[in-house]
């Protein structure tokens, strides 16, 4: 695989304030879904704007499809599709007219553009509404149309800035499905920003956690979660007098045991594979387990680990009003 | 660049035609100017001329026009072009506010096509208003009286002049629209500029009515240049040598304005559309 995006020391300063993006470096392989995860104000949108040539680069360099965003902005624009955070369709035009205008501006020949427009409207289930004015569309329909408007010229890389912000969970899930299909079926490389943990977790091959203008850690969602050294198993027993700490610690794969009265908190790579051994060991002491629960590591925990605060705290401290949306995403994540 | 410019201009025109209210209001603006202003400010009223609406003794000052509305019509066509060109740019302000301009900037198109797309759609809209104004002027009471021998060439000359004037204003006001960050700033700038341009011109009254200190300004005002050029064609069927040279002089002045304002507009747009 070759690099579709390669950023080195990318920096943006808006004088006279501090650096908004402070020397970030990352690479996105062709066909990959790469997410920048972080609270609002982390520098995600500025990063995406530099990569899409909308904001100038103060220092560093980035290449998209092998073209420099600083020296070859026109060539970069021909390779990319951009879906901004706000819906920016023309409400007075019909759905199909928005698509055809995008095709025209990308120099797609008319017959080909018509064929692609039909196909893309079908992809996002808007073929029945394509001839209606966008003003009559629901918020979800507009997002779906906006997504495919950026695909009319068959870009090599699609940039999505907070693609589902403000959408209800059903619409969000549909958008996720389209993004997954575009990536899997068409091999489209996708670079997106999000502050939804679940979104980053579900869609991304690589997640880079961004905070205060810097990338704190990056990797696949599973690797990032695995870096927390596994699952957490909490259990309570019917005997608070016997200390089972050493017994539990002796079980292979249990890495950490903490006791509070009759309750224990175990850390282990994969709780499912160790659970039979744990139950058997405790039963061998004629002690019964009265309660168990376990949790898988989340990206929120990864965020907490690398930034010292949770995403919820970060969102609230930025006063961006997205805390409620974050909560709804997290609730669904725990289901 | 032509294809992209046309695609963007066409987009605005489609929107405009789908909003009949805007089209009707733009067209009716001329009716108000001619029917209300043309009657209430008619200098012939003050002179209590025997022939209603006739300028009588003022006819010479009014370039040979036999009615005030004959004198006023080219001025109103020019004023409608000015107000139309200045306010129609608001579409671009909204494009900036709702992020559409950013989307356009992410397309592999010359940035100039965004600017010229705005210019041509404004000119096209302005060219719809001009013939409507002309027709209204013909049917209002004591209205437009065309000079003897008025023909197709005069008509072509009138519409060529208005096309040039709308282009002059469109290039400038599109530059402003693309540069400002809010509708408040846009309307403040437009109001600030249009009223002085309007009232220092010979759109409503001849140059001889102006005080001495204002005459040089009124003479080079693009509204005056366009109004005077069109008046020559409206009032006179065929132009004499001196009238022809006056007509050419007005056109040269308008072209000079056009070049300067296009340059100013392009610089404003270029500055506004570059990555920061």
Structure tokens at B62: 């009014």
Q: Is residue B51 part of a domain?
A: no
Q: Is A26 helix (H, G, I), strand (E, B) or coil?
A: strand
Q: Is residue B49 part of a domain?
A: no
B271 to chain A, closest Cα gap in Å: 13
Q: What's the pLDDT at B237? A: 79
Whether pLDDT at B265 is above 60: yes
SS3 sequence of A109-155: CHHHHHHHHHHHHHHCCCCCCCCCEHHHCCHHHHHHHHHHHCCCCCC
Burial A182-203 (b: 16+ CB within 10 A, else e): bbeeeebbbbbbbbbbbbbbbb
Rounded Cα distance, B85 and B171, in Å: 9
Give which of A48, A58, A90 to mutate to test B binding, by max B Cβ within 10 Å. A90
Structure tokens at B51: 């022939």
Burial B177-207 (b: 16+ CB within 10 A, else e): bbbbeeeeebeebbeebbeebbebbbbbbbe
pLDDT tens digits, one per residue of A112-152: 999 999 999 998 999 999 999 999 999 889 999 999 999 99
Per DSSP, the residues of B140-154 read STT---PPTT--HHH
Rounded Cα distance, A164 and A168, in Å: 8
Measured distance between the N- and C-terminal CA atoms of chain B, rounded to whole angstroms: 23
Rounded Cα distance, A168 and B58, in Å: 72
The C-alpha R_g of chain A, in whole angstroms, comes to: 24
Rounded Cα distance, A299 and A329, in Å: 12
Rounded Cα distance, A324 and A1, in Å: 39
CB distance A160 to A192 below 8 Å: yes
Q: Is B236 helix (H, G, I), strand (E, B) or coil?
A: coil
Rounded Cα distance, B197 and B58, in Å: 25
Return the residue matching tokens 């579900």: A202
Rounded Cα distance, A231 and A298, in Å: 10
Q: What's the pLDDT at A97? A: 96
Close Cβ partners of A308 (under 8 Å, ≥ 6 residues apart):
none
Q: Give me the domain span that covers residue B27.
A: 2-39+62-273
Q: Is residue B30 part of a domain?
A: yes
Percent helix / strand / coil, chain A, rounded to 5: 40, 25, 35
Higher-scoring residue by pLDDT: A79, B147: A79
Q: What is the mean pLDDT of chain B?
A: 87
CB distance A35 to A192 below 8 Å: yes
pTM of the prediction? 0.81
Q: Is residue B180 part of a domain?
A: yes
User: Which domains, ranges and CATH numbers included, belong to chain A?
Assistant: 3-225 (3.40.50.300), 229-295 (3.30.70.2470)
Contact B107 A106 (CB under 8 A): yes
| B29: confidence class by pLDDT, cuts 50, 70, 90 | confident
Q: Is A85 helix (H, G, I), strand (E, B) or coil?
A: coil
Whether pLDDT at B49 is above 80: no
CB distance A135 to A90 below 8 Å: no
Nearest CA in chain B to A92: B15
Query: Which residues of chain B have a Cβ shorter than 8 Å from any chain A Cβ?
Result: 3-4, 7-8, 11, 14-15, 18-19, 98-100, 102-109, 275-276
Query: Cα angle vertex A203, ends A201, A204, to 5°?
Result: 75
Contact B11 A105 (CB under 8 A): no
The C-alpha R_g of chain B, in whole angstroms, comes to: 19
Return the residue matching tokens 């725990």: A334
Give which of A84, A95, A105 to mutate to test B binding, by max B Cβ within 10 Å. A105
Q: Is B171 helix (H, G, I), strand (E, B) or coil?
A: helix
Return the residue matching tokens 């659970």: A275
* Burial of B234: CB neighbours in 10 Å, binned 0-12, 13-18, 19+: buried
Q: Is residue B201 part of a domain?
A: yes
Give the nearest partner residue to B108 out of A74, A88, A133, using CB atoms.
A74
Q: What's the pLDDT at A317? A: 66
CB distance A80 to B5 below 8 Å: no
| B149: confidence class by pLDDT, cuts 50, 70, 90 | confident
| B24: confidence class by pLDDT, cuts 50, 70, 90 | confident
CB distance B127 to B162 below 8 Å: yes
Q: Is residue B96 part of a domain?
A: yes
Rounded Cα distance, A294 and B164, in Å: 77
Q: Is residue B55 part of a domain?
A: no
The ranges of chain A with pLDDT < 50 are 320-335
Contact A77 B106 (CB under 8 A): yes
B259 to chain A, closest Cα gap in Å: 28
Structure tokens at B105: 């900037």
Strand partners for A133: A94
Cα B216 to chain centroid, rounded: 20
Is the bond leading into A324 cis (omega within 30 degrees of zero)?
no
Number of domains in chain B: 1
CB distance B71 to B44 below 8 Å: no
Strands A157-161 vs A189-194: parallel, antiparallel or unpaired: parallel
Residues of A in contact with B104 (CB under 8 A): 105
B260 to chain A, closest Cα gap in Å: 29
Four-point Cα dihedral B201, B207, B209, B210, nearest 10 = 60
Return the residue matching tokens 């051994």: A277
| B40: confidence class by pLDDT, cuts 50, 70, 90 | confident
Q: What's the pLDDT at B47? A: 62
Structure tokens at A133: 């004015």
Q: What are phi and psi of A267, to 5 degrees?
A: -110, 130
Cα B86 to chain centroid, rounded: 9
Residues of B in contact with A82 (CB under 8 A): 103, 106
Pick from A121-135, A147-161, B75-89, B162-176: least confident: B75-89
| B221: confidence class by pLDDT, cuts 50, 70, 90 | very high
Q: Is residue B56 part of a domain?
A: no
Whether pLDDT at B158 is above 60: yes
Return the residue matching tokens 């759905």: A95
pLDDT tens digits, one per residue of B55-64: 677 777 788 8
CB distance B82 to B254 below 8 Å: no
Rounded Cα distance, A93 and A58, in Å: 37
The mean pLDDT value for B31-49 works out to: 75
Q: What's the pLDDT at A330? A: 31
Close Cβ partners of A319 (under 8 Å, ≥ 6 residues apart):
none
CB distance B170 to B126 below 8 Å: yes
């Amino acid at each position: 695989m070759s690099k579709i995006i390669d950023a080195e020391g990318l920096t943006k300063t808006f004088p006279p304030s501090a650096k908004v993006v402070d020397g970030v470096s990352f690479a996105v392989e062709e066909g990959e879904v790469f997410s920048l995860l972080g609270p609002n104000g982390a520098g995600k949108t500025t990063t995406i704007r530099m990569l899409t040539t909308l904001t100038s680069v103060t220092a560093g360099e980035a290449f998209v499809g092998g073209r420099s965003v600083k020296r070859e902005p026109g060539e970069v624009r021909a390779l990319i599709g951009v879906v901004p955070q706000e819906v920016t369709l023309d409400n007075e035009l019909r759905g199909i007219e928005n698509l055809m205008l995008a095709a025209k501006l990308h120099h797609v020949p008319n017959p080909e553009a018509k064929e692609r427009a039909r196909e893309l409207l079908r992809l996002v289930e808007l073929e029945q509404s394509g001839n209606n004015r966008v003003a009559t569309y629901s918020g979800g329909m507009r997002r779906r149309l906006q997504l495919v408007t950026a695909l009319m010229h068959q870009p090599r890389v699609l940039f999505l800035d907070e693609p589902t912000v403000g959408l209800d969970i059903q619409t969000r899930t549909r958008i996720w499905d389209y993004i997954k299909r575009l990536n899997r079926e068409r091999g489209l490389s996708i670079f997106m920003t999000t502050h939804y943990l679940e979104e980053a977790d579900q869609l991304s091959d690589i997640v880079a956690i961004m905070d205060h203008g810097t990338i704190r850690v990056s990797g696949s969602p599973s690797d990032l979660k695995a870096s927390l050294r596994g699952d957490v198993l909490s259990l309570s027993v019917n005997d608070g007098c016997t200390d089972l700490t050493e017994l539990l610690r002796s079980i292979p794969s249990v890495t950490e045991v903490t006791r509070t009265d009759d309750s224990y908190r175990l850390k282990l790579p994969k709780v499912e594979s160790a659970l039979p051994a744990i139950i058997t060991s405790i039963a061998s002491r004629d002690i019964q387990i009265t309660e168990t629960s376990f949790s898988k590591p989340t990206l929120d925990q990864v965020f907490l680990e690398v930034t010292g605060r949770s995403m919820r705290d970060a969102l609230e401290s930025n006063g961006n009003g997205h805390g409620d949306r974050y909560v709804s995403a997290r609730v669904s994540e725990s289901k | 660049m032509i294809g992209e410019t046309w695609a963007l201009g066409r987009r605005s025109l489609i929107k405009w035609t789908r909003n009949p209210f805007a089209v009707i209001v733009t067209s009716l603006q001329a009716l108000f100017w001619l029917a209300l202003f043309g009657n209430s400010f008619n200098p012939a009223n003050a002179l209590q001329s025997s022939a209603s609406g006739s300028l009588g003794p003022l006819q010479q000052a009014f370039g040979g026009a036999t009615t005030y509305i004959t004198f006023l019509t080219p001025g109103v066509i020019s004023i409608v072009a000015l107000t139309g060109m200045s306010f129609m740019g608001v579409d671009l302000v909204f494009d900036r506010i709702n992020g559409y301009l950013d989307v356009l900037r992410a397309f592999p198109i010359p940035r100039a096509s965004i600017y010229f797309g705005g210019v041509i759609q404004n000119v096209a809209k302005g060219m719809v208003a001009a013939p409507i104004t002309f027709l209204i002027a013909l049917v209002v009471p004591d209205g437009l009286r065309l000079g003897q021998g008025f023909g197709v060439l005069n008509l072509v000359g009138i519409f060529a002049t208005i096309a040039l004037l709308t282009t002059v204003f469109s290039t400038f006001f599109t530059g402003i629209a693309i540069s400002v960050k809010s509708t408040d700033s846009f309307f403040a700038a437009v109001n600030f500029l249009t009223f002085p341009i309007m009232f220092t011109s010979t759109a409503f009254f001849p140059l001889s009515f102006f005080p001495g200190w204002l005459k040089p300004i009124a003479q080079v005002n693009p509204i005056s240049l366009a109004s005077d050029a069109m008046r020559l064609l409206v009032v006179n069927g065929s132009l004499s040598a001196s009238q022809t040279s006056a007509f050419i002089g007005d056109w040269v002045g308008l072209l000079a304005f056009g070049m300067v304002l296009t340059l100013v507009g392009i610089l404003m747009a270029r500055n506004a559309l570059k990555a920061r």
